């Protein structure tokens, strides 16, 4: 991994540089003080998603979901568990497709829940349907080189 990691704050959209060796220490945004890598799933809007997907040096896994979707609500705790298990090597976020319909068009989402993994400034892999935490983690491990 690079000496410094570039991360977009998912709260205020400020770009931060964090020493790679300090990712596990809970780095905070230099602008707003929000934690950058803490194993929590962060809600996003389309603008923040586009900036983070383009700029982040860490992989970003995004859950496209809606509040009325039963499978989405069932998968939410599993997605959170996977986020905790893979931190600080991967960041997890979710985008409400009901509140952000442009996101479904932009990313050609045909059904939810739908996971998209972003890495190196582009979409890297997709996974459709509700999954348990172990399957989400395996999906990420298959598509991202994880540190030992």
The reply to whether 12 belongs to the active site is no
Strand 122-128 vs strand 91-96: parallel, antiparallel, or unpaired?
unpaired
Q: What angle do CA 32, 86, 95 make, to 5 degrees?
A: 55
Q: Which is the catalytic residue, given 9, 12, 32, 69? A: 69
Q: List Cα–Cα distances, 66 to 69, 100, 105, in angstroms.
A: 5, 10, 15
Q: Which is the catalytic residue, given 9, 29, 32, 72? A: 72
The reply to whether 69 belongs to the active site is yes
Q: List Cα–Cα distances, 45 to 52, 59, 62, in angstroms.
A: 11, 18, 11
Contact 100, 63 (CB under 8 A): no
Q: d(Cα 142, Cα 147) in Å, to the nearest integer?
A: 13
Give the residue numbers marked as catalytic: 69, 72
């Amino acid at each position: 991994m690079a000496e410094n990691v570039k991360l977009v704050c998912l709260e205020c959209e400020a770009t931060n540089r964090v020493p790679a060796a300090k990712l596990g220490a809970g780095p905070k945004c230099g602008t707003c003080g929000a934690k950058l890598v803490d194993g929590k799933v962060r809600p996003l809007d389309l603008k923040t998603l586009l900036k983070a997907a383009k700029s982040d040096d860490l992989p970003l896994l995004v859950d496209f979901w809606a509040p009325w979707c039963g499978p989405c609500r069932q998968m939410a705790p599993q997605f959170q568990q996977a986020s905790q298990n893979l931190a600080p090597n991967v960041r997890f976020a979710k985008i409400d497709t009901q509140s952000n319909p442009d996101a479904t068009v932009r990313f050609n989402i045909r059904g939810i829940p739908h996971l998209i993994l972003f890495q190196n400034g582009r979409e890297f892999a997709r996974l459709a349907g509700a999954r348990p935490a172990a399957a989400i983690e395996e999906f990420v491990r298959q598509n991202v080189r994880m540190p030992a």
